[in-house]
Structure 1
Amino acid sequence: MSRTSDLSASERVIIGLLTFFLIIAFTLELYWIVFNDSLVARADHELFARLFQIYGDADRAYFDRITPMAIGLEQINVFVTQIVNVWLLWAIVQRVYYRHVLQLLVGSYLTYSVVLYFWAAHVTGYPDMRYQSPYTFFLFYAPNLPWLLGYAYMSLDSIRHLCARLRRDASAA
């Protein structure tokens, strides 16, 4: 029997989320890193550039008002966070003893980063939003929710496992 057949439903969900995040990072987000300076010119004939044009109504820092901060954040996400996501995938499948500590760290960091992105836009009055409407607020929040909810789920899953282990250890002592 293989290790993957022994995975719980929660572990399968987390593996699915991590796989989704990796695919998006190495397609859409990597495209943005490589072509962020030419998105406007590419938007008429390339799907990914068109998607960023649409999202640009909600956050122009990802289309026609690119900022060094956005570039830096995306580079960290694609080139650092995804390495840690692969490490976490491996730790889950191999049932490595520190898996839940790693998962809690990754989940907390990414949940915090999405909340910070939302909060910074909110407290500054959404300065990169082309215009404020229900459509642009939906466009701003909805595409980012998988990261917020997915990594929050991973954090809560690890908190649950780590607390259960602490309770068992305390009872045994």
Structure 2
Amino acid sequence: MQDNNQRLAALFRSMADLLSAQRANPYRVRAYRRAADALLALKEDVAAVAQRQGLEEIDGIGEDLSKKIEEFLETGTIRAYEELKTPLPAEVKNWATLPGLSDSLVTYLYFRLGIRTLKDLEQLIQSHLLRTLPSFAGSEDRLLQAVQQRMQNHEP
């Protein structure tokens, strides 16, 4: 089996796991997993397929994934993967201690909704959009009070 195929398949599986943890679109997660399976089933090195511009002929590989494969073949990594691996800042991770928030919900708020500060979080709560997320099980009022208390105390 070709080394490039195995390394790329492992990278795509890792990306799928990271996206899944961030509750990304399930179709996107599945696309990465399908691409990983297709790469492992490939009888030749993916670099040879890329050389002849045949990546999109591989079942499960579309334009977006073919560009990521080409990026990997040129640079040895995929920028989107490096971004996914970036951990939450400590002060944001600490939000999981607020009433009604969990680690996975905080991750979702940060990466998917772009909530970066307590002020952003306060605005989200006040907009009543937080209650529309199925993973929010708390009281908006209690959470809002806790966020405002942290902001007054200048806590992260």
Q: Which structure would you say has the larger RCO, counting Cα contacts within 8 Å and 6 or more residues apart? A: 1
More helix by share: 1
Fold match, TM over 0.5? no
> How does the TM-score come out when normalised to structure 1?
0.30
Q: TM-score, normalization: structure 2?
A: 0.32
Name which one, 1 or 2, has greater alpha-carbon Rg: 2
